[in-house]
Structure 1
Amino acid sequence: MAPKIAPVQTSPGIPASTAVVVIGGGIVGLTAALTLAERGIPVVVLEKGRIAGEQSSRNLGWIRKMGRSAPDVPMSVASDRLWAEMPERVSADVGYRQAGIMYLARTEVEMAMHEGWLQSVRDLSLDSRLLTPSEIDRLVPGGRDDWAGGIHTPSDGRAEPTLASSAIAAAAMRHGAIIVENCAVRTLALTGGKVSGVVTEKGEIRCDNVLLAGGLWSRRFLGNLGVSLPTLPLICSVIRTAPMDGPTEIAVGGPDFSFRKRADGGFTITQRGGLGAPLMLDHLLIGRRYLPALRSQRHFLRISLGKDFFSDLALPRRWKGKGISPFERVRTMDPPTDEGLNAEAMHNLTAAWPVFEKAVIEDAWAGMMDITPDSLPVIGPVKGVPGLTIASGFSGHGFGTSPAAGQLAADLVTGASPIVDPAPYSLDRF
């Protein structure tokens, strides 16, 4: 079952022309659209299903700098500031709370990983610090696990995925953006090799620039244009509990569970040590690029070969603008919840903090993430297709960095001074 997002009244039809078309109504595309609209630039967002219907509403809601590679930290720092300003910016509560995030280690090997990361960002002025077992007990009381230690970043935080995208979309429309749901973009219209518009299932829209923020669908869209974007899918299964008293406002990630307080009083819980990895044709085509990451993270992956392979195989990889596209065949990617992983999460969590034995599970869902070989997104122009910019491949981190990522994408589309250095996110790095 998909989480229920706050409804937004979008536009029923498409305009004949605009300055920028954003393909994809997830939180990054919506934030880019809000930025453009605030600058007085006409923008249209086209979503094949419902806004935030896929990973933008299904993620854990964490907003963190901790654990990110050094080149990605400036994006996270900028997003912290923008998240803090978001309620006033969109005139709505998005659930943002700067309550901190903590990672836990059971072994000295795990602790050494946290120490190594802290050393790698020592020059970036973060407030992250290592924790002793007694400090963990003080910050998150009531536990009974024997921790080797942990790491804590008090300035990290959280927001609500079911509120944020809707609030951002509503604000963008108040500034003049047009958002159209259930309108798939089939392909680009090109004139002299440059973007001149988009071909949708409802007709063509003329424009000078296109921002592709299609999440896990971006690889297929670009493939139809002869452009390779290396992303592979991973699935995270999530639990939502009823409101309950918990041990802390801090979001906590253990080796094999995580939990964070929700604005509704419940908790969002997942098996942090397990992700679904359904094999698909793309694993054969580009899987070798992921071998370095696989060697270090294979114990996290629950690899399977089943109906996902054949469902993906049935979707075309080449099509024309006049024909039905894959994006019309699958309006919303809604993977089944892995009940086994969720059961593991609850078992591991209750063993560590017995208060969660009282938890009442009210909902569960799964979301499919688009993962790049280095887990950094691609944000920047697509060489060979003037007028096309991409913002995809967020590898499960898109919600937390979306304010700065969306603004960076808008900066690059319009030639404005970028909010952060875009070099780490170039498609050319692959």
Structure 2
Amino acid sequence: MGPATDPVISDSALPSSADVVVIGGGIIGTSAAFDLARRGVRVVLCEKGQIAGEQSSRNWGWVRKQGRDSRELPLIVESLRLWQGMNEAVGADTGFRTTGILYALSSDADIARWEAWLERVRPYQLDSRLVSGDELTRLMPGATRGFKAGLFTASDGRAEPQQAAPAIARAAQRAGATVLTGCAVRGLETTGGRVSGVVTERGHIACNGVVLATGAWSRLFCKDHDIRLPQLRVRSSVLRTGPVEGGPEAAAWLPDVAYRKRLDGGYTVAGAVASVADILPDSFVFFREFLPALRQNWRKMPLRFGRRFFEELSWAGPTPLDQASRYERVRVLDPAPQQQVNAGALAALATVYPVFAKAKVAQQWAGLIDVTPDVVPVISPVERLPGLVVATGFSGHGFGIGPGAGRLAADLVTGAPPVVDPHPFRLTRFSDGSEIRIEAGI
């Protein structure tokens, strides 16, 4: 099972109506609900399982501008601003700390790649920079392996995935939102060609707008409503250790391992390349869109064929709204971790930091990451179904950008001026003839 999340007590009554229904209780959905509630919008958040039960509690916990696609930078800058005031805003500790993030670089090619990235993002005036020598040593206390240089962003930070979305959900409730857990949304209702309500397992909620923030489930939900959303799932494995004395403070990516210190004194550890792409029916449906990513990353992301292909094949058709849906049959996606990959990551960490040689593995888990062909999220109204806003496809980068993404989704569903230009995140970029572009170095 995944890591234990902080509890959120579900509201008991199902409202008959709302202005907006948010589907999905991860970091994006809870952030959208919180923002909407603070605006005075009547909002209901429906989560089929528990708040942050899937990838929002299973990620690395990084909150970073560093290394992002330039199309995401305005949104992550806004998100960092929100994170910096998040603990006060929600009246709880989300675990956010500004500790910096480091990429340790071992070759001239690595250095050149990130020099090119720094040049590309220069207009955004980030504090990211290359470091070396004594400064790099100070960022890696106790390291016995040297590196040529590092890319470091001091204003980046970390938060606790098991605490953050639950804290935001509880704050949304206090602001007036209704939060329903164990309440799957089976589908949408429409009137005159636009969204007019949702059908949940507990009944109907009339509404004017819907934010779909269901992570790895979003493609399936869209498919049920004849909306083409190019999205696949990637499985990523993670472990956490018990407390480790004398370890580094800044989160870091090394050639073989990535780590992040936790508030409990342990570390979240993963292989620097720890993802597996399962071959699914949608792998063939979206082969053309994902071909550029496959060409660029085939050495880094092994492909696997197994029982998940047949599981998802059985989900091919929608279920009538008056019957129990697949969202009720599978409340939480809980894939098995790749324990061999995790063990290799911890061993690699111990070769750099001897203090980890005796670290105890407290837990291991895996999560399913929702990915798009260009590794940039979709945060977009759906042109063919007015009233629906999709916020998904964060491609492993969603936790840090979550508060900003939730705010943008709230802007779009209410018609408010968007906090950033939403054009790069439009769904129609996959159907309007735009080139599918993956930025070099990302």
In structure 2, C-alpha distance between the alignment counterparts of 1:311 and 1:351, rounded to whole Å: 40
Q: Residue 165 of structure 2 corresponds to which residue in structure 1?
A: 165
In structure 2, C-alpha distance between the alignment counterparts of 1:118 and 1:235, rounded to whole Å: 30
In structure 2, C-alpha distance between the alignment counterparts of 1:114 and 1:293, rounded to whole Å: 19
Q: Residue 423 of structure 1 corresponds to which residue in structure 2?
A: 423
In structure 2, C-alpha distance between the alignment counterparts of 1:322 and 1:392, rounded to whole Å: 26
Q: Residue 261 of structure 1 corresponds to which residue in structure 2?
A: 261
Structure 2, unmatched stretches of 5+, are 431-442
Which is worse superposed, 140-149 or 285-294?
A: 140-149
Q: Residue 381 of structure 2 corresponds to which residue in structure 1?
A: 381
In structure 2, C-alpha distance between the alignment counterparts of 1:119 and 1:295, rounded to whole Å: 25
1:424 match: secondary structure: helix
In structure 1, C-alpha distance between the alignment counterparts of 2:61 and 2:364, rounded to whole Å: 15
Q: Residue 51 of structure 1 corresponds to which residue in structure 2?
A: 51
In structure 1, C-alpha distance between the alignment counterparts of 2:3 and 2:31, rounded to whole Å: 20
Root mean square deviation of aligned Cα: 1.2
In structure 1, C-alpha distance between the alignment counterparts of 2:186 and 2:144, rounded to whole Å: 54
Q: Residue 88 of structure 2 corresponds to which residue in structure 1?
A: 88
In structure 1, C-alpha distance between the alignment counterparts of 2:29 and 2:139, rounded to whole Å: 36
Q: Residue 241 of structure 2 corresponds to which residue in structure 1?
A: 241
Which runs of structure 2 are paired with 1:128-139 in the superposition (5 Å)?
128-139=128-139
Measured against aligned partners, the alpha-carbon deviations of 1:350-392 in whole angstroms (never above 9, x if no partner) come to 1122111021111111110000011111111001101111111
* Cα drift, residue 420 of structure 1: 1.0
Q: 1:256, 1:274 within 8 Å by CA — same for their partners in 2?
A: no
In structure 2, C-alpha distance between the alignment counterparts of 1:138 and 1:188, rounded to whole Å: 54
Q: Residue 5 of structure 1 corresponds to which residue in structure 2?
A: 5
Q: Residue 115 of structure 2 corresponds to which residue in structure 1?
A: 115
2:238 match: secondary structure: strand
In structure 2, C-alpha distance between the alignment counterparts of 1:357 and 1:138, rounded to whole Å: 21
Q: Residue 398 of structure 1 corresponds to which residue in structure 2?
A: 398
In structure 1, C-alpha distance between the alignment counterparts of 2:72 and 2:123, rounded to whole Å: 14
What is the letter of the counterpart of residue 221 of structure 1? Answer: F
Which is worse superposed, 171-180 or 306-315?
A: 306-315
In structure 1, C-alpha distance between the alignment counterparts of 2:9 and 2:186, rounded to whole Å: 23
What is the letter of the counterpart of residue 312 of structure 1? Answer: E
In structure 2, C-alpha distance between the alignment counterparts of 1:164 and 1:99, rounded to whole Å: 17
2:286 match: secondary structure: helix
1:50 match: secondary structure: coil
What is the letter of the counterpart of residue 348 of structure 1? Answer: A
Measured against aligned partners, the alpha-carbon deviations of 1:102-134 in whole angstroms (never above 9, x if no partner) come to 001222222221111111101111001112254
In structure 1, C-alpha distance between the alignment counterparts of 2:23 and 2:287, rounded to whole Å: 26
Which is worse superposed, 137-146 or 157-166?
A: 137-146
* Cα drift, residue 141 of structure 1: 2.0
Q: Residue 371 of structure 1 corresponds to which residue in structure 2?
A: 371
Measured against aligned partners, the alpha-carbon deviations of 1:171-193 in whole angstroms (never above 9, x if no partner) come to 00011100111111111111111
In structure 2, C-alpha distance between the alignment counterparts of 1:373 and 1:112, rounded to whole Å: 25
Which runs of structure 2 are paired with 1:167-316 in the superposition (5 Å)?
167-316=167-316
Q: Residue 125 of structure 2 corresponds to which residue in structure 1?
A: 125
Q: 1:26, 1:51 within 8 Å by CA — same for their partners in 2?
A: yes
In structure 1, C-alpha distance between the alignment counterparts of 2:340 and 2:263, rounded to whole Å: 27
* Cα drift, residue 69 of structure 1: 1.3
* Cα drift, residue 416 of structure 1: 1.0
* Cα drift, residue 338 of structure 1: 0.5
2:264 match: secondary structure: coil
Q: Residue 41 of structure 1 corresponds to which residue in structure 2?
A: 41
Q: Residue 322 of structure 2 corresponds to which residue in structure 1?
A: 322
In structure 2, C-alpha distance between the alignment counterparts of 1:366 and 1:105, rounded to whole Å: 27
Q: 1:246, 1:356 within 8 Å by CA — same for their partners in 2?
A: no
In structure 2, C-alpha distance between the alignment counterparts of 1:388 and 1:357, rounded to whole Å: 50
1:276 match: secondary structure: strand
Measured against aligned partners, the alpha-carbon deviations of 1:148-193 in whole angstroms (never above 9, x if no partner) come to 2220000000000111111101100011100111111111111111
What is the letter of the counterpart of residue 298 of structure 1? Answer: W
Q: Residue 64 of structure 1 corresponds to which residue in structure 2?
A: 64
Q: Residue 156 of structure 1 corresponds to which residue in structure 2?
A: 156
Q: 1:62, 1:158 within 8 Å by CA — same for their partners in 2?
A: yes
1:240 match: secondary structure: strand
Measured against aligned partners, the alpha-carbon deviations of 1:304-356 in whole angstroms (never above 9, x if no partner) come to 11111122222243222122222112110000010011011012111122111
In structure 2, C-alpha distance between the alignment counterparts of 1:273 and 1:305, rounded to whole Å: 19
Q: 2:244, 2:355 within 8 Å by CA — same for their partners in 1?
A: no
What is the letter of the counterpart of residue 28 of structure 1? Answer: I
In structure 2, C-alpha distance between the alignment counterparts of 1:104 and 1:244, rounded to whole Å: 21
Q: 1:274, 1:302 within 8 Å by CA — same for their partners in 2?
A: no
Q: What fraction of aligned residue pairs are identical, expressed as a percent? A: 49
In structure 2, C-alpha distance between the alignment counterparts of 1:195 and 1:300, rounded to whole Å: 41
Which is worse superposed, 129-138 or 92-101?
A: 129-138
Normalised by the length of structure 2, the TM-score is: 0.95
2:173 match: secondary structure: helix
In structure 1, C-alpha distance between the alignment counterparts of 2:104 and 2:32, rounded to whole Å: 34
1:259 match: secondary structure: strand
Q: Residue 433 of structure 2 corresponds to which residue in structure 1?
A: none
Q: Residue 355 of structure 2 corresponds to which residue in structure 1?
A: 355
2:114 match: secondary structure: helix
In structure 2, C-alpha distance between the alignment counterparts of 1:359 and 1:78, rounded to whole Å: 36
1:78 match: secondary structure: helix
Normalised by the length of structure 1, the TM-score is: 0.98
Q: Any runs of at least 4 consecutive aligned residues in structure 1 with deviations exceeding 3 A, and if so which? A: none
